Each structure stands twice: as structure tokens, then as C-alpha cells.
DNA sequence: CTGTTAGCGCCTTCAC
DNA sequence: GTGAAGGCGCTAACAG
């Protein structure tokens, strides 16, 4: 494990000074083609790799960005990561990744650590910290791009999906199918995203004078929690309506997949006995049996766009405080087997 | 966007020199409790965050590690990332992540960029570069931990799953069920992992004098490719045997999920007409219909262990060249519906 | 106990 | 065209 070769080593070998090497390497400043070529050759031969740490210290640009995701287990976030990583790397930046679960304290701590790393900017997906950023985001002196979350701040930009509209589309579809007793399988922690989906569910029912009281919350968004929570949901429905729900709108696909599995254990078939709809359109949804009705979010593109936005912010003059942007996406409803082909009249009464 | 506060700013405010601030902050060197307390207070008030870039430059330890994964879309890798990230962050390290697809050139380039970042160590999952590392891994002067791949080198350690044994277990199970015409749905690119699984398939059949010639390769490991490739696989089987395969052993779960979906489109039911087995045991496997027989790899633990191993290497004296380690895991066969409950005699002949 | 000096590897400004 | 000097923010060695 010997020391890495530095520009000084090259300078010594080439019989020039290090600044000259530095210039040659970066193709800056006019100099004789002969010496430049010689220096480049020597650098290659010696296996030189520029030390980005040292460079960052002097240029005040580390060419790195931080990405915070709140739950890497959810394939939704994998795609976000993939999009951000692809764009960022294509532009010569490196990516710091942290996965924080739902704990806002962890999230804030991670952001602080990124600041310590002197990243040029930060992307945060599905932030759980929301308002708690208010105090700090402006202070840290670098642009932030939020994905599917919101916070106030002059440096804070956002890329987000219109979850309210999306959830409305899902609810419209369920109501069009004739379902009336529609339950909601949500998440325990509250976030802007969750609020919008739940709100759309509630309002869609209320507008038609239907009962919007049957809902349960899973502690985390995993298939397993979907399985266990759907049992409570059915109980709740039986208590309220005397029957299982006719349809269940799930906060996301993982919970929906679990719900279908759990319902089967209860002897309830989807969609014959209960219809189920999810949210996100994970790749597997189209291949489940029954295939899952859900709302497709362009998650890879959202990751890409968030990164693109951040990089464009970085290219700008630092003093040209750009106005906070907010880019809004609309997903597409994917109607599949899990909500179709049954008229609710035939639904078995538990 | 004003400059971040440095120890010099604090020093000025506290009327001491910066080294003193540095010591106070790190709790090093004895000094009067009064001044230490005062310095800490001022630092907090001014919102000081240590600049890890500068620190790394002088200490030659950046407290960062790089992680390379070859396909972040595969939930298998998500869990690896999750495991590595959790351990690394718990120890105060930051994680650089890069996802490189199957291209070995990209992989090498990314590793080089990590070196430029002066990371303390590197974890590489499912490397596609294999032997091509031979030249460089020893040169870069930092420990490497490979997950499910192999390369020679004094600094190169490995954590891997015994895929050969795992694939044998799957094949044993299929043969025990009485299947004889067993096809393999693999991957186009070759890797150690792929080689082991395919080899086990081939040898298990050969040992019993069965035909091991029906195999196709998907270009990438995605559900969609499973869907399209299984069609070719069935064609191939019909050409060879006059019937579809009795069972298909898939390289991994994504391909298996796609295969089941594709078979259904062909009018073939799993497991009645064709049995299907996968590899990895993604969370969704137990909730598919039919649920998927597969081999569970402890992927989160493997990520954790790889990180743990790397960190322990970093704690050691740098000159104490430890011998390359290799930790081997054994997965567990998960027998589920997709391969069960049908005697092959009843298999429909296509 | 604290301040001074030096240097990590690199880039920038200014002489020559 | 190229070299010398200075400094990014921090820590390490040595004074005092």
C-alpha cells in the first residue's frame, strides 16, 4: 500500500514544476505541445489519478451530490436512485447515498453529514422531515431538490408527482366499477404524499355520500405489513358494514400485494370477493395474479429530472439565486384484473 | 449562500488559536474546562460543521467507502445496498454508490473514480469485471471486498454465496419431484455466479443421464426479459423433446416471475403444465400465485457482513497485510407451489 | 495548557 | 511558456 502518485511526483519525473503538470493535465494555459504530451505520457505511465479531495478543497466544488431516500426496500426508491445516479455520473459527479427509514432525526443528521462532506447539492426523496427543515435548509448554502415532498426555502426546489390527482383517478375507477364500501390501507406515519392519497380517498367517498371510516395503517410499507394489516381492515369493515369491503385502495403497491395475499388467507378472492388497487406500478404488478390495478408514477424519470435540475442549479452563477421551482408529474392509471370484471352485487357477504 | 464557518472563525470569536479550537472540538489534549466549554458553545452558536474534505486531506482517512452494484433494478442488490449502508453509516462512514449495469468498462471506471475520491475501501457486488481487475486491485492501495464474485489480489477479500450448492439443492428438488425434462433460463453475460448455477443444472441432469441441452439466455435480468425468453425456451424444448419442458430452472427470481407470466400467455399453467423455480427469494416470491419455489440468499446479511469485514480491515494497522478472506454463505431452499403437487406424468404434452 | 509552524495535494495569481 | 508563492480547512509536531 504505497502512497498514490501526485502531481509533484510527475513534475519531478518530467523535470518541470507541479503547476505546469496541473495545467497540462487540465488542458489549460498555452504551453508547448511537446512538454504537454510528455507530461501526459508520464502521468499515464505512473498511473496517476487526480486527488479529488484536494482539488475540492481549493476549488470549493467537490463534484459530488448527496441523495437521501427514506426506504430503500421499496422498489419505488430504487428507481429514483437509479435515475439520479445515472444523470449525476454522466456529468462526472459522484453520489453519496443514505437510506434513513422513516425517522426524521436520522434524515436531518444525514443531511448534516452531507454538508460536512461539502457536497455541491442534495436530493431528498420522500422526506419525512418536512417542516423541520425550515430552520436549516436555507442555512446550508447549497441547492436542495426534494422529490415528492415539500419544504419552504429559497434554495429548495421540488420535483413531485400529483398524488392527489392520481388517487382521485384510482377512486373514480373504483366508484365507476360500482363499488361503494371502499376501505383504505394506509401508512402510520404521515407525510404529504400519504396525506394526499388518503384525502382523495376520503373526499371521493364523501362527495357521493359514502362511508369513509374504514381505514387502517401499516407501520411500514412492506408486503408483510400488508398481509397482517388487511386482516384488521376486514375486521373493521365487518364491524362497520357487516361484510368485508368491496374494494380496498392501498397506499402503495407493496401494501396492495400483501393485502391480496392476506385476503386469500382469509378465504377472500381478488377481485371476486374484494377488489384491490395500489399505487406506483412496480414492475411486478403487471405479472401478479390477479394483475394489479395501480397508478403508474414515472419514478425513473423523476429521479433523472431531480438530478438534472440540481445540476443545472449548480452550473448557474452561485449568486443568481434562482426562484424555487416545482415540477409536477401526472401518473397514469393502469387498470388491470384486481379491480375488474365483477359487479359488486355478486360480492359475497361475509 | 455565504461561506461556511471554519475553525478559524471560531478561533477569532473565542480569542484563541485554531489548533486550540480543533483540539477542543475533538476532545483531545488536556485544556481548561472553561475554555473548552466556551469554544464548544461558540461553535454551536455559529453553526459550525467540520469540513470532512479538509480533514481527510491531512489525516489520509476520508471515512468514506465506495459501493459498486451492477444492477440496482434487481431487488437483490437493493438489499445488499441497504446492508452495507446501515453498517457503514453506523460507524460514521459515508457511502459512495455507483450502479454500473453489466458493462465491465463502466465498472472499472467507477472504481477508478472512487480511488480519486480517496475512499478508504471499496465493496463491489456481483462484479462483471472479474479477471480484468487482476492488474489494478493491488495497485490502488486500499482494501476491497467482493460480494458474489472473485478476483485474485492481496487486498481482495470476498463474501459470497455458495451458488453451486444452492443450485444443486434446487435441482435435487426438481428431480425428486420426478421431472426429467428440465430447461434452464439463464443470462447472456457470464459471471462466476451465473456459471455456478448453470453448471449445477447441467451436471445434475448429466449425472442422471438426462438431456441438458435446452437453455436460453436473457440479455438482462428483468421480468420483461423472462416473459419474452421463456417463449423461445418452450420453442426450443418442443424442437428437442416435442413437448414443453416439465420444469424450468431460472437464473433468478425476476426471470422466474417473467417466465411464469410468459407461460400463462402461452396457455401453460404453473405448476400443472410446467414447474418453475427461481433463485434469491425476493420478498414478493412468497406472495405470487403460484408462490415461487426458490433459494433464499441472505442478501441483507451479506451486505452487512461485507461492510463489517471492510471496516475491520480499515481499523487494522495498514501494514499488517491481512490474508485475503473468503466468507461463504449457504442459502435455504424455499419449496413453494410453483414446483409442487403435480406428478409429471400428468403434464400435458404440447 | 496553549500558540506557532508546517504540510496534506491541488489550484490560482503573479512574476519571470 | 513556465516557475514561485500563497492558501483552501484542517491536524500534527513541537515550542513555550
Split at pLDDT 50, 70, 90, the class of A141 is confident
CB atoms < 10 A from the CB of B19, how many?
Answer: 11
Q: Mean pLDDT across chain B, nearest whole number?
A: 91
pLDDT more than 90, % of chain B: 73
B66-105 residues touching A, CB cutoff 8 A: 67, 72-73, 75, 78-79, 81-82, 85-86, 89, 94-99
Biggest CA–CA distance in chain B, Å, is 90
- B242, burial (CB in 10 Å: exposed 0-12, middle 13-18, buried 19+): exposed
pLDDT more than 70, % of chain A: 95
Which chain B positions have a beta carbon within 8 Å of A224's beta carbon? 283
Interface contact flag, B116 A51, Cβ < 8 Å: yes
Dump the DSSP string for B240-258: HHSS--SEEEESSHHHHHH
Q: What is the pLDDT of residues A218-230, one digit of tens each?
A: 999 999 999 999 9
CA A142 / C1′ D1 distance in Å = 38
Among B50, B82, B141, select the one facing A4 at the smallest CB separation: B141
Which segment of A107-116, A201-210, B124-133 scores lowest on mean pLDDT?
Answer: B124-133
What is the average pLDDT across B93-110?
92
- Is the shortest CB-to-strand distance from A206 to strand C under 7 Å? no
List B215's β-bridge partners, or say none: B184
Split at pLDDT 50, 70, 90, the class of B78 is very high
CA dihedral sign of residues A262, A268, A272, A276: negative
Residue A350 has pLDDT above 80, yes or no: no
Going by the DSSP 8-state scheme, the letter that residue B292 receives in this structure is P
- Is the shortest CB-to-strand distance from B17 to strand D under 7 Å? no
Interface contact flag, A288 B288, Cβ < 8 Å: yes
Q: What is the pLDDT of residues B266-308, one digit of tens each?
A: 999 999 999 999 999 999 999 999 999 999 999 999 999 999 9
Under CATH, which architecture does the B61-161+298-329 domain have?
A: 3-Layer(aba) Sandwich (3.40)
Q: What is the pLDDT of residues B21-76, one digit of tens each?
A: 999 998 877 778 888 889 999 999 988 999 999 999 899 899 999 999 998 999 99
Superfamily classification of domain B163-297+334-339: Response regulator (3.40.50.2300)
Where does CATH 1.10.260.40 sit in chain A? 7-49
Q: Mean pLDDT across chain A, nearest whole number?
A: 91
Q: What is the pLDDT of residues A256-267, one digit of tens each?
A: 999 999 999 999
Q: Does domain B7-49 correspond to CATH entry 1.10.260.40? A: yes
> What is the pLDDT, as a whole number, of residue A342?
72
Q: Is this prediction's pTM over 0.85?
A: yes
Residue A137 has pLDDT above 90, yes or no: no
CB-based contacts of B283, cutoff 8 Å, min separation 6: A73, A222, A223, A224, B75
> What is the pLDDT, as a whole number, of residue B1?
46
Where does CATH 3.40.50.2300 sit in chain B? 61-161+298-329, 163-297+334-339
> What is the pLDDT, as a whole number, of residue B286?
98
CB B221 within 8 A of CB B251: yes
Interface contact flag, A287 B57, Cβ < 8 Å: no
Which chain A positions have a beta carbon within 8 Å of B288's beta carbon? 288-289
Residue A344 has pLDDT above 70, yes or no: no
Amino acid at each position: 500500500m504505497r502512497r498514490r502518485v501526485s502531481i509533484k511526483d510527475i513534475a519531478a519525473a518530467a523535470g518541470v514544476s507541479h503547476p505546469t503538470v496541473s495545467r497540462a493535465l487540465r488542458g489549460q494555459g498555452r504551453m508547448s505541445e511537446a512538454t504537454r504530451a510528455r507530461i501526459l505520457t508520464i502521468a499515464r505511465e505512473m498511473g496517476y489519478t487526480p486527488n479529488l479531495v484536494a482539488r475540492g478543497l481549493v476549488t470549493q466544488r467537490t463534484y459530488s451530490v448527496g441523495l437521501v431516500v427514506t426506504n430503500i426496500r421499496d422498489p419505488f426508491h430504487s428507481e429514483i436512485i437509479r435515475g439520479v445516479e445515472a444523470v449525476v455520473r454522466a456529468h462526472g459527479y459522484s453520489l453519496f447515498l443514505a437510506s434513513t427509514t422513516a425517522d426524521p432525526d436520522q434524515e436531518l443528521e444525514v443531511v448534516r453529514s452531507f454538508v460536512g462532506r461539502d457536497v455541491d447539492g442534495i436530493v431528498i426523496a420522500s422526506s419525512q422531515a418536512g417542516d423541520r427543515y425550515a430552520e436549516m435548509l436555507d442555512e446550508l448554502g447549497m441547492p436542495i431538490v426534494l422529490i415528492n415532498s415539500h419544504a419552504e426555502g429559497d434554495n429548495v426546489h421540488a420535483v413531485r408527482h400529483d398524488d392527489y390527482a392520481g388517487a382521485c383517478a384510482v377512486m373514480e375507477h373504483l366508484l365507476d366499477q360500482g363499488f361503494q364500501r371502499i376501505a383504505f390501507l394506509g401508512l402510520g406515519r404521515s407525510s404529504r404524499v400519504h396525506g394526499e392519497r388518503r384525502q382523495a380517498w376520503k373526499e371521493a367517498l364523501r362527495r357521493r355520500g359514502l362511508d369513509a371510516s374504514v381505514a387502517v395503517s401499516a407501520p411500514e410499507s412492506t408486503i408483510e405489513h400488508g398481509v397482517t394489516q388487511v386482516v384488521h381492515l376486514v375486521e373493521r369493515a365487518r364491524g362497520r358494514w357487516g361484510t368485508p369491503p368491496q374494494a380496498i385502495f392501498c397506499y402503495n403497491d407493496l401494501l396492495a400485494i400483501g393485502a391480496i395475499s392476506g385476503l386469500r388467507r382469509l378465504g377472500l378472492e381478488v377481485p371476486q370477493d374484494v377488489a384491490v388497487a395500489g399505487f406506483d406500478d412496480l414492475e411486478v404488478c403487471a405479472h401478479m395474479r390477479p394483475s394489479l390495478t395501480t397508478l403508474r408514477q414515472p419514478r425513473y424519470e423523476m429521479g433523472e429530472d431531480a438530478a438534472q435540475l440540481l445540476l443545472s442549479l449548480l452550473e448557474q452563477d452561485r449568486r443568481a439565486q434562482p426562484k424555487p421551482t416545482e415540477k409536477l408529474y401526472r401518473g397514469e392509471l393502469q387498470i388491470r384484473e384486481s379491480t375488474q370484471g365483477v359487479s359488486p352485487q355478486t360480492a359475497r357477504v361475509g
